[in-house]
Amino acid sequence: MQAGKKYVDYMGGAAAALARARQDFARGEYRWVAQVVSHLVFADPGNREARALLADAFEQLGYLAESATWRNAYLFGAHELRHGMPNIPGRTPVSADTIRALTTEQFFDYLAVRLNGRKAAGKKIVLNWCFTDVGQEFLLKLDNAALCCVANRQAAEADATLTLARATLDGIVVGKTSVPEALGSGKIAITGNPAKVAQLFAMLDEPGRMFEIVEPKRREQTTRAPNT
């Protein structure tokens, strides 16, 4: 977004850049229009004129594209600029088959990728994991907003020790059950502080199904286009 503002400043401001881009659009120079007006949208995502012109340029590029892949990308970009990202419900980020195929080390690495660094900042958690069905033990540590596991090790001063089947943990991650449900049914036995386990799982993000493809990602703001 900062680069977009600098580009717009170099082009003499948004009004001057839009005036020139409209002339290029009239001449059919849609790629130039898309390149220039993209900077305007990044500089000010709420600029309705810039969004509309960029959407029109993408639409024309989509109509001209021989490749279905490029056409779909252009037209989806135009739709995003006019209406915002589609509000599509999320889905499980990985299938149950994929989770089962991971080694336990890979499984914990996968959880580490999903860790929300902001939520984990300043927190420390140490958990012992004992998997009864595969005969494995792991030490899982959260520190410095990073999640690390060590095989064949346990900590004497762990916050909690979990005894369960690996299949139970797989089910929790794919959404077939939850930690409270597994505890209630006896599928997980916890000694120590169970709140630390719940705290850890609360720090894991669910990857979104949709993401912006032509406008800046604004985590704390709405991605919907301004009302027209």
Q: Is the pLDDT of residue 227 over 80?
A: no
Q: Which residue type does 14 have?
A: A
User: Among residues of the chain, what percentage have pLDDT more than 90?
Assistant: 65
- Tens digit of pLDDT for each residue in 159-199? 999 999 999 988 888 878 888 888 889 999 999 998 999 89
pLDDT at 90: 58
- Tens digit of pLDDT for each residue in 22-36? 999 999 999 999 999
**More reliable by pLDDT, 93 or 196:** 196
186: region left, alpha or beta (phi > 0 left; psi from -120 to 50 alpha): left
DSSP 113-149: HHB-HHHHTT--EEEEEEETTTTEEEEEEEETTEEEE
What are the distances in angstroms from CA 161 to CA 52, 133, 201?
56, 16, 15
pLDDT at 36: 95
Q: Which residues contact 52 (CB under 8 A, 6 or more apart)?
A: 81, 82
Q: Which residue type does 180 have?
A: P
Please give the Cα distance from 62 to 102 (Å, whole number).
40
CA dihedral over 17, 18, 23, 29, signed as positive or negative: positive
CATH number for the region 2-83 comes to: 1.25.40.880
pLDDT at 165: 94
Which class does domain 96-202 fall in? Answer: alpha beta
User: What are the helix and strand counts (H, E) for the chain?
Assistant: 11, 5
- Tens digit of pLDDT for each residue in 64-88? 999 999 999 999 999 999 998 777 6
- Tens digit of pLDDT for each residue in 44-57? 999 999 999 999 99
Q: Is the pLDDT of residue 209 over 70?
A: no
Q: Where are the domains of the chain?
A: 2-83, 96-202
Beta bridge pairs of residue 128: 139, 161
Q: Is the pLDDT of residue 223 over 60?
A: no
Q: Whole-model pTM above 0.75? A: no
